[in-house]
Structure 1
């Protein structure tokens, strides 16, 4: 048992030390998966969604979303994705959108009822593309893989030492990891994607100040039905608004210097 634990620990440390990277905002990251692996996962997930969800056939709606998304992805570095992005509008009342590695973007029609103009839609799409640029999917999966190995080691030690109530202790460790590591980590990703998205929309010619209006709309649309920030994977709307405002000056400079101002509406 001891030999197995030592092997797991050594493996986890070796993998983690060999997978260090830096996010666009300068934050240290651990990335265990290759770009090709992530792109393949993104392709598979997107294909499944297109089979399971209804795709909008409204020409004007599709043209509008594609216009905004095309302007945003034009700012994505080629090393992140250099191919043609696939953009799909799903006929669904969810107030949401997403972007996947491998150049995939999905926008739910419910979002168009909350994002009141092209600038606010650009804020959402920019945010989602920001997750891809910052390798957040890779980072989350890598973290989960290492946590899984660590939890297995702790469980073996407890079992080996015949610690009373070991199952309860493992449950507490799981909750501690979720609240102490995974949830703050997710909130860090959301805040980082907000800043990257702010830069993307500004350089694309969309007014970054509208990102604040977007989150005010999001807050109103939620009707106060949110978990407290400590137990949420997303920062509270006011936290996001404060973060956006703190980074607004350089975004406005990028906006004023943008070579093109899209007219998608």
Structure 2
């Protein structure tokens, strides 16, 4: 009976997969974490991070980060409103901060909280480079990738528990083999590809957003060429990474940039910075 109940619970969770529509792709996504649950915790963590780090304020670079961020969000709102998603951003509380840190990184938290590290600015080089990074991070927030990762992690744990219960009468060796095989298999076969799919999705959505904001999406490929040069020899093989290989990203972006420009023209954008 315990085994049956656990697998029923797993199936119930699986049935919740695809309960929220991605407004940019039209696809149903794994997401059973509501904004009401996730956003307050994310906002608190973001505030704590800012309190514990060196936030750059009042500089030209800080103003650029905030200005570009607002342009990308305005572009997102135009897209969402035009495609029947009025009010989608109501729960978001956008914030864009520059933090003094040599890491080549920028990140977004659920609900629109974004950080750029000063270390990535020399690679961005220009405002358009910053816009390519910003649009990618805004896309992560808009597509609920944080909530999806949490949902996938919870589902991964639940299936692991269900499997352990199902094998509770077997030998300890059998249980250990299952735990090791499931852990490795779910990570390489599910969680890492899931993460890479989010990065690819954020790349594509980001191109559309930066184009609607008036930035040339073709510049994003050059940005990733510079990023690849900076990280040469340091990245793991793609199948072991949370991110696609740089060559994969550059190829995709080159292919998708004309589509992003065509989408932007629907909003009257005919020239790109």
Asked if Structure 1 and Structure 2 have the same fold, meaning a TM-score greater than 0.5 normalized by the shorter chain, the answer is: yes
Distance in 2 (CA, whole Å) between partners of 1:67 and 1:127 is 16
Aligned to 1:22: 21
Is residue 197 from structure 1 mapped to residue 206 from structure 2 by the alignment?
yes
Distance in 2 (CA, whole Å) between partners of 1:71 and 1:258 is 15
Match of 1:11 among 9, 18, 22: 9
Structure 1 SS opposite 2:75:
coil
Distance in 2 (CA, whole Å) between partners of 1:213 and 1:161 is 55
Contact 1:207 1:255 in 2 (8 A): no
Contact 2:112 2:138 in 1 (8 A): no
Aligned to 1:149: 158
Aligned to 1:230: 239
Contact 1:88 1:107 in 2 (8 A): yes
Taking a change above 3 Å as real, the CA distance of residues 159 and 226 of structure 1, as seen in their structure-2 partners, is same
Deviation at 1:6, TM superposition (A): 2.0
Structure 2 SS opposite 1:98:
strand
Taking a change above 3 Å as real, the CA distance of residues 48 and 261 of structure 1, as seen in their structure-2 partners, is farther
Distance in 2 (CA, whole Å) between partners of 1:195 and 1:25 is 10
Structure 2 SS opposite 1:159:
coil
Structure 2 SS opposite 1:114:
helix
Distance in 2 (CA, whole Å) between partners of 1:7 and 1:258 is 56
Taking a change above 3 Å as real, the CA distance of residues 35 and 43 of structure 1, as seen in their structure-2 partners, is same
Compute the TM-score of the two structures, normalised by the length of structure 2.
Answer: 0.88
Tell which has more relative contact order, 1 or 2 (C-alpha 8 A, sep 6+).
1
Deviations 1:224-248 (A, max 9, x none): 2110001011000110011111212
Deviation at 1:19, TM superposition (A): 4.5
* Two-structure CA RMSD over aligned residues (Å): 2.0
Unaligned 5+ residue runs, structure 2? 78-85
Match of 1:79 among 63, 73, 87: 87
Deviation at 1:96, TM superposition (A): 1.2
Deviation at 1:163, TM superposition (A): 5.5
Aligned residues: 261
Is residue 89 from structure 1 mapped to residue 89 from structure 2 by the alignment?
no
Structure 1 SS opposite 2:167:
helix
Deviates more, 1:69-78 or 1:80-89: 80-89
Is residue 162 from structure 1 mapped to residue 160 from structure 2 by the alignment?
no
Compute the TM-score of the two structures, normalised by the length of structure 1.
Answer: 0.91
